[in-house]
Amino acid sequence: MAVLMSPPALRSEPAALPKPRRVSPTATVLLLLGAAYCLLPVLWVLIASTKSASELFNTFTFLPSTHLFDNIAFLSSYRDGLYWRWMVNSAIFAGGGAAVSALVSAMAGFALAKYEFRGKRVVFNLVLAGVLVPGVILAVPQYLLLAKVGMTNTYWAVLLPSFISPYGIYLCRIFAAATVPDEVLEAARMDGAGDGRAFFRVALPMMRGGLVTVFLFTFVAIWNNYMLPFIMLGDDKLFPVTVGLSGLLNQGATQPAMYTSVVTGAFLSIIPLVVLFLSLQRYWRVDLGAGAVKM
Amino acid sequence: MRTRGAPYAFLAPALVLFAAFLAAPVLYAGYLSLRRVKVSGLGLGAGARTEVWAGLGNYTRSLTDPEFVPSVLRVGAYGLVVVPVMLGLALILALLLDGGRTRVGTFTRTSIFLPYAVPAVIASLLWGFLYLPRVSPIVDVLDRVGITAPDALSSGWVLYAVANIAVWGGTGFNMIVLYTALRSIPTDLFEAARIDGASDIQIALRIKIPIIGPSLIMTFLFSLIATLQVFAEPMTLRPLSNTISTTWTPLMKVYRDAFVRNDIYSAAATSVVIAAATFVISYGFLKLVGSRAFSQES
């Protein structure tokens, strides 16, 4: 494993919280304050999306109203359901980008972890340099290069740059080293499996848990990305929901009625990710420092 | 291993994508930063505008731009607020969760992690509305007790308003990373200290924090890189406030130069400066703390 210090021993079962010793009121209060701070804007957007345009700025902030479905209907009717197109686009960008990126990273990580070959050190250093190069600084030159081949303002302009994730490769190398024993690969080879078969049939299933983590990381990074689609896309039918909503907010400056749609759109847009998070919470166990990921 | 070509075949897709979408843009930005357009005659007709070498002209222009230095200083100040506050909160909350002296652990852990699922643009949107005096519950409450709250989006406060959005969005993720590291410390390392009468705070300071040092270093590094790239939050808040200029952060200036002024050469030079500065700072930081993070050896 790529570790900074010796591999940490796992303390009991990390799934459950430690058995409460004497309950500390201070700890409880501080944690609840933290939770309140984090939930406040989410609670607000839930309540605000039930308000009509006239209520949004004129009733008490946390007083719910009854217009949620009117607001959703109004937002859905905006330019023939453009909002839902944005949601579908976000799903395509994040889902497609993360799936391909996870596979590309798994193959590269597997090669780096399980083979000795010329140029291995160079490749690994390139990956590390890629982790440290701030991604969004690449957006402008990426745009200019894709413009040269006429690919800007297409889905590919956002998808292709998302397919490569140096951090994903780095994580996959650790997963492959930690979860795929050399003996198992050797056994597969004895049985006559080629390298490709050994990878897809033997190694990939063993790396499954780690790949879900890499997929989630990349999915969130792409779903949350703003600058790349903002620069690459001109046609608002191709926008992901982040770029679309910030455009709607701009319109709100001249037509305040749009604010209700912005708020409702913001509320609806966070539901899929929140569901994804809560249902896959156990995969978020990344120990950056040890360079290892607990599963 | 059986086939000599196998590792290269596995690496091929990654290397092709790396070359096309990481290496090529970096090199192309470097190339553009040394070029400029030369206009001959009236600049009309084919061939009147040609690209020529510009030497370091774009760099001098970019670095001496009266709007560049303030934007760098602004992001520096922003980073000084965001990184310590966010990581401080993340560390305290992770230690509290790991201490296990509460019954609300699962609920609070999930709640605090939740903002990570909210894109920066949406987070800025939510907070942007909450900053508006007519919506803000804080302004409402202060009003009732007779205090006039400052306008969060006024020029004196807008830096903190943006910083708050970043802290809100990033604390939970960093908390989970640190919490995962804390959970992997073997219990016996501090059970002995506890039996000797060490308090929770002493155990945290003397044992737990030094052990998770590597995780703190990596969260610090990633937070630093993210901070230098701040773009989505101020861009989203702009329609709600007239205190955020088009060059509020260096990256916003790159965007404006490239797409509003169509000066891709100057934008490329500024990009190269930001990328180099980020690289020097993060690499220098790793050297400074003597970290062997990312080590290759097994």
Distance CA B126, CA B129 (A): 5
B188 has a pLDDT exceeding 60: yes
Question: What's the pLDDT band for B4 if we cut at 50, 70, 90?
Answer: confident
Choose the closest CB to A199 out of B10, B13, B116.
B10
Interchain CB distance below 8 Å, B235 and A226: yes
* 8 Å CB contact between A292 and A171: no
Look at residue A169 in the predicted model and tell me its pLDDT. Answer: 94
Contacts with A144 from chain B: Cβ below 8 Å:
28, 32, 264
Look at residue A254 in the predicted model and tell me its pLDDT. Answer: 75
What is the average pLDDT score of chain B? 87
Residue from A50, A170, A39 nearest A101 by CA: A170
How would you classify residue A182: left for phi > 0, otherwise alpha for psi between -120 and 50, otherwise beta?
alpha
* Cα angle: A133, vertex A136, A138; to 5 degrees: 70
Interchain CB distance below 8 Å, A18 and B171: no
- The verdict on residue B2 lying in a domain is no
Look at residue A3 in the predicted model and tell me its pLDDT. Answer: 30
For chain B, say whether A199 makes contact (Cβ under 8 Å). Answer: yes
How would you classify residue B47: left for phi > 0, otherwise alpha for psi between -120 and 50, otherwise beta?
left
Look at residue A286 in the predicted model and tell me its pLDDT. Answer: 57
Residue from A18, A104, A277, A285 nearest A178 by CA: A285
For chain B, say whether A17 makes contact (Cβ under 8 Å). Answer: yes
Look at residue A151 in the predicted model and tell me its pLDDT. Answer: 92
A10 has a pLDDT exceeding 70: no
Distance from CA of B167 to the nearest CA of A (A): 10
Q: How far is CA A96 from CA A101, A106, A108, A114, A160, in A?
A: 8, 15, 18, 27, 10
Query: Residue range B89-118: average pLDDT?
Result: 91
A288 has a pLDDT exceeding 60: no
B40 has a pLDDT exceeding 80: no
Look at residue B194 in the predicted model and tell me its pLDDT. Answer: 85
- The verdict on residue B212 lying in a domain is yes
- The verdict on residue B163 lying in a domain is yes
Distance CA A283, CA A230 (A): 30
User: What pLDDT, in 10s, does the model give residues A230-254?
Assistant: 999 999 999 999 999 998 888 877 7
* Cα angle: A45, vertex A284, A167; to 5 degrees: 105
- The verdict on residue B263 lying in a domain is yes
- Of A158 and B276, the structure prediction assigns the larger pLDDT to A158
- The verdict on residue B93 lying in a domain is yes
- B189: containing domain: 70-288
Domain count, chain B: 1
- The verdict on residue B94 lying in a domain is yes
Least confident interval from A129-133, B172-176, B273-277: A129-133
B296 has a pLDDT exceeding 60: no
- The verdict on residue B279 lying in a domain is yes
Contacts with A23 from chain B: Cβ below 8 Å:
101-103
* 8 Å CB contact between B75 and B69: no
Query: Residue range B59-76: average pLDDT?
Result: 91
Cα B147 to the center of its chain, rounded Å: 34
Distance CA A242, CA A81 (A): 16
A6 has a pLDDT exceeding 60: no
User: What pLDDT, in 10s, does the model give residues A61-84?
Assistant: 788 888 889 999 999 998 899 999
- Of B270 and A60, the structure prediction assigns the larger pLDDT to B270
Look at residue B292 in the predicted model and tell me its pLDDT. Answer: 57
For chain A, what percent of residues have pLDDT higher than 70? 87
B2 has a pLDDT exceeding 70: no
Can you give the CATH number for the domain in which B106 is found? 1.10.3720.10
Using CA coordinates, name the residue in chain B closest to A7. B184
Distance CA B94, CA A287 (A): 13
B46 has a pLDDT exceeding 80: no
A139 has a pLDDT exceeding 60: yes
Choose the closest CB to A141 out of B120, B187, B268.
B268
User: What pLDDT, in 10s, does the model give residues B201-244?
Assistant: 888 888 899 989 888 988 998 898 888 889 999 999 998 888 89
Look at residue A278 in the predicted model and tell me its pLDDT. Answer: 81
Query: Residue range A95-116: average pLDDT?
Result: 95
Interchain CB distance below 8 Å, A17 and B136: no
Domains parsed from chain A with CATH numbers? 67-293 (1.10.3720.10)
Strand partners, B13: none
B294 has a pLDDT exceeding 70: no
B43 has a pLDDT exceeding 70: no
For chain B, what percent of residues have pLDDT higher than 90? 41
A34 has a pLDDT exceeding 70: yes
Look at residue A1 in the predicted model and tell me its pLDDT. Answer: 29
Contacts with A160 from chain B: Cβ below 8 Å:
17, 20-21
A294 has a pLDDT exceeding 80: no
Long-range contact list for B264-267, CB < 8 A, 24+ apart? B264/A140, B264/A144, B264/B32, B265/B32, B265/B33, B265/B35, B265/B36, B265/B37, B265/B54, B265/B58, B266/B58, B266/B61, B266/B62, B267/A140
Least confident interval from A229-238, A272-281, B116-125: A272-281
Question: What's the pLDDT band for A109 if we cut at 50, 70, 90?
Answer: very high
User: What pLDDT, in 10s, does the model give residues A142-194?
Assistant: 998 999 999 999 999 999 999 999 989 998 998 898 889 999 998 998 888 88
Distance CA B279, CA B221 (A): 11
